[in-house]
């Protein structure tokens, strides 16, 4: 199994640089074990990862013309040593003040920094090893809300200066089913086949993904202080997100799920901005953050309690085309 760790890449992780939004903060570098710790057991998953853009970004991102252009506008000399880029595009590892970029987007940015739980997770003699690891910070595939949060906290790009000054796009058109079933799929627990998710799980992925997209779009706009593409783009995401959730509510029969989805929509106020010189002020920030709290609780509730079998009415809304091609192991 190849080792993944590049060396001698100094990385002071400056989480407050350039107005980075706290929702996009990376896993604690001092708690990162590194991809090798996962690959020791999850060999096929690691092989799939090496074919993903998440892996390749380590060697490719800093060479891309558009990335260089964004860095230049922000005065960033080295993409791999600035937290504005690092917090979403790289995995950093090491003690505070001396962390190093060791990989692109890797296992622990999705499943939680593992120093505290990896030994418990690996203890197959413990029948409760997964549940016990979760208590210590492991984010299991079963917790769709927390997994989705790790996706959208970066893919909504909640960094106003990065967008307005750097020219970064305002988030990705991330839809959880089509993205998780495509290039990033790495489901080998049942053998050597990269298994597609069941229809029941896809329904949950679709629903919770829409909820979390709205949540993190609201989180992003709540602290906006400038006129520009960031506010415009986040407003588009919020309006679109509420419309998609309304389609879900319309498709669902009367019952708890429909009631909860309507509650999510109702909890998302339209951002109100007041001009202040060249900038602006979100005048209903407190209402937005209260809505975020409600949406977050509902999203976690859905993840914990909903059964995909009860959400068949969503099937016509769920995309059937995937974002990229899943990895297939060589025979």
Instruction: pLDDT band for 263, please (50, 70, 90 cuts).
Output: very high
Q: Name the packing angle between helices 285-305 and 256-266 (round to 10°).
A: 160
Statement: the pTM of the whole predicted model exceeds 0.85:
yes
- The tens digit of pLDDT for each residue in 177-233 reads 999 999 999 999 888 999 999 999 999 999 999 999 999 999 999 999 988 999 999
Model pLDDT for residues 111-157, shown as the tens digit of each residue? 999 999 999 999 989 999 999 999 999 999 999 999 999 999 999 99
Q: What share of the chain is helix, strand, coil (3-state, %, to 5)?
A: 55, 5, 40
Name the nearest CA neighbour of 159 among 270, 233, 54, 258.
233
Q: Return the SS3 of 276.
A: strand
pLDDT at residue 24 greater than cutoff 90: no
Tens digit of pLDDT for each residue in 72-91? 999 999 999 888 899 999 99
Token pair for 110: 């999705």
Range list of H helices, 156-255:
160-164, 176-180, 199-222, 229-251
- In terms of C-beta distances under 8 Å and separation of at least 24 residues, what long-range contacts does 62-69 make, across chains too? 69/167
Q: For 66-75, what is each residue's pLDDT tens digit?
A: 999 999 999 9
Is the Cβ–Cβ distance between 162 and 70 less than 8 Å? yes
pLDDT the model gives residue 3: 41
Q: How many CA atoms lie within 13 A of 152 on its CB side?
A: 28
DSSP state, residue 10 = B
Total residues belonging to the chain: 331
Tell me the per-residue pLDDT of 30-43, one tens digit each, with 9 for 90 and over: 999 999 999 999 99
Task: Render pLDDT for 38-59 as a digit per residue (tens, 0 to 9).
Answer: 999 999 999 999 999 999 999 9
Q: Are 204 and 311 contacting, i.e. CB atoms less than 8 angstroms apart?
A: yes
Both tokens assigned to 32: 């990162």
């Amino acid at each position: 199994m190849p080792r993944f760790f590049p060396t001698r890449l100094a990385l002071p992780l400056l989480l407050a640089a350039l107005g980075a939004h706290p929702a996009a903060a990376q896993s604690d570098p001092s708690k990162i074990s590194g991809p090798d710790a996962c690959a020791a057991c999850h060999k096929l998953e690691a092989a799939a990862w090496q074919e993903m853009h998440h892996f390749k970004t380590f060697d490719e991102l800093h060479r891309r013309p558009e990335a260089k252009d964004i860095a230049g506008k922000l005065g960033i000399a080295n993409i791999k040593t600035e937290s504005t880029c690092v917090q979403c595009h790289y995995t950093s590892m090491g003690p505070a003040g001396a962390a190093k970029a060791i990989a692109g987007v890797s296992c622990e940015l999705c499943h939680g920094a593992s120093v505290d739980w990896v030994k418990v997770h690996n203890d197959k003699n413990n029948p409760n090893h997964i549940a016990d690891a979760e208590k210590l910070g492991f984010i299991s595939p079963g917790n769709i809300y927390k997994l989705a949060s790790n996706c959208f906290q970066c893919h909504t790009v909640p960094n106003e200066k990065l967008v307005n000054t750097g020219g970064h796009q305002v988030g990705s058109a991330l839809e959880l089913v089509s993205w998780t079933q495509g290039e990033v799929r790495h489901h080998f627990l049942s053998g050597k086949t990269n298994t597609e998710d069941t229809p029941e799980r896809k329904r949950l992925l679709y629903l919770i993904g829409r909820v979390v997209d709205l949540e993190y779009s609201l989180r992003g706009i709540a602290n906006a202080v400038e006129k520009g593409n960031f506010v415009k783009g986040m407003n588009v995401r919020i309006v679109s997100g509420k419309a998609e959730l309304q389609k879900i509510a319309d498709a669902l029969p009367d019952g708890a799920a429909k009631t909860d989805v309507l509650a999510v929509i109702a909890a998302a106020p339209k951002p109100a901005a007041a001009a202040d010189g060249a900038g602006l002020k979100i005048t209903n920030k407190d209402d937005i953050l209260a809505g975020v709290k409600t949406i977050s609780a509902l999203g976690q509730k859905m993840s914990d309690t909903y059964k995909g079998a009860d959400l068949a009415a969503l099937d016509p809304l769920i995309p059937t085309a995937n974002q990229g091609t899943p990895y297939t192991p060589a025979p």
